[in-house]
């Protein structure tokens, strides 16, 4: 009679063969530690003035700017496949831009028009609105510029007004991406004072001064405005990790309901540290540069499009993300639905 292996041998080859659990599809699915579902997806869409307009974005093949009526149509498609949230970003008419970005606090600006229209037509879908001034300023910075410097406290006052007009339009999630100090707490106070205690705040808590944002700035029309300028005086240094935890801690203390790490793929270590440290709802943004990079390689035949898209999104889940902003959201949701997931 064969004697059982001694305890010291358990977990060693040949008693343990890691490949046993990998040899069949059913077994790999059974022991998978992370899963991607449509509930994980937030779809960012870009808006443009006019009617019945779909304007391609050259640096983001397959992504378009939509007029409000078309955005409503796309919201219906998103809801049909179960996408929980749309994120709205405007390509502001240059004639409406100004040094102080006053169009941001116009209750009838492009974003507010779209929020009202989508909510009227597809009330079950969540709407996320970006809070920052860069789509509205002639200089392309996220805040007000005084003597060549982006000022903090005066900018925050504008952001509070912007958040309130978005909430009044029907926005469900206010997402300040500006990286001004103290803005989350001030926005929370402003929303509560205006009767919007239930509106959520998703803080872009760990937003890095990244080179991966280029196509997005093309999409919202801020690239030309920004020119050779940069945002390093307020966005985070890509060299830092501990600083990200301080940013998240401060934003949570100020009332953030969810926190974001941006960009995504180059900052998976930050996603994991944030999740492990705070155990709060953590969102990651697969930014425009990541989208463009994957798509360009796939178009050249160097990468398998579907496989790299799904692998990249699963990596965010593995790192600890609860939700993912991705321009692939509609495509991925349709594939997940067809696969019965």
Q: Record the pTM.
A: 0.93
Taking the C-alpha atoms of residue 190 and residue 220, their distance in angstroms, rounded to an integer, is 26
pLDDT of residue 1: 53
What are the boundaries of each domain within the chain? Answer: 34-338
Instruction: Let me know if 262 is a catalytic residue.
Output: yes
Q: What is the pLDDT of residues 93-106, one digit of tens each?
A: 999 999 999 999 99
pLDDT of residue 215: 81
The DSSP annotation for 65-80 comes to EE-HHHHHHHHHHHHH
CB 219 within 8 A of CB 61: no
Which regions in the chain score pLDDT beneath 50? Answer: none
| Bridge partners of residue 26, in order along the sequence | none
Catalytic, out of 97, 119, 231, 262 = 262
Task: Identify the CATH assignment for 34-338 out of 3.40.50.1370, 3.40.50.300, 3.20.20.70, 3.30.930.10.
Answer: 3.20.20.70
Reported residue count of the chain is 341
Q: 247: annotated binding-site residue?
A: yes
Q: What is the pLDDT of residues 137-191, one digit of tens each?
A: 999 999 999 999 999 999 999 999 999 999 999 999 999 999 999 999 999 999 9
Taking the C-alpha atoms of residue 317 and residue 163, their distance in angstroms, rounded to an integer, is 29
């Amino acid at each position: 009679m064969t004697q059982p292996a001694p305890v010291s041998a358990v977990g060693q080859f040949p008693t343990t063969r890691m490949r046993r659990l990998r040899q069949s599809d059913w077994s790999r699915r059974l022991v998978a530690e992370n899963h991607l579902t449509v509930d994980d997806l937030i779809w960012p869409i870009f808006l443009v003035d006019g009617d019945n307009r779909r304007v391609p974005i050259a640096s983001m093949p397959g992504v378009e700017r939509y007029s409000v009526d078309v955005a409503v149509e796309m919201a219906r498609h998103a809801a049909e496949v179960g996408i929980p949230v749309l994120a709205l970003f405007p390509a502001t008419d240059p004639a409406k831009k100004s040094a102080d970005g006053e169009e941001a606090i116009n209750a009838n600006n492009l974003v507010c028009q779209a929020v009202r229209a989508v909510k009227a037509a597809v009330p079950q879908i969540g709407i996320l609105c970006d809070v920052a001034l860069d789509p509205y300023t002639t200089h392309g910075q996220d805040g007000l510029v005084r003597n060549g410097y982006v000022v903090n406290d005066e900018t925050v006052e504008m952001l509070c007004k912007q958040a309130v007009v978005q909430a009044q339009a029907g926005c469900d999630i206010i997402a300040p991406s500006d990286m001004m100090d103290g803005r989350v707490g001030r926005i929370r106070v402003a929303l509560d004072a205006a009767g919007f205690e239930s509106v959520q705040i998703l803080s872009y808590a760990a937003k890095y001064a990244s080179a991966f944002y280029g196509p997005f700035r093309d999409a919202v029309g801020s690239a030309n405005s920004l020119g050779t300028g940069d945002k390093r005086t307020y966005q985070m240094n890509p060299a830092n990790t501990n600083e990200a935890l301080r940013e998240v801690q401060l934003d949570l203390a100020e009332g953030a309901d969810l926190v974001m790490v941006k960009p995504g793929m180059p900052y998976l270590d930050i996603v994991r540290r944030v999740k492990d440290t705070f155990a709060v709802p953590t969102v990651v943004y697969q930014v425009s540069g990541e989208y463009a990079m994957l798509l360009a390689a796939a178009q050249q035949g160097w990468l398998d499009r579907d496989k790299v898209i799904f692998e990249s999104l699963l990596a965010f889940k593995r790192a600890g993300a609860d939700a993912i902003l991705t321009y692939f959201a509609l495509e991925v949701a349709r594939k997940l639905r067809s696969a019965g997931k």
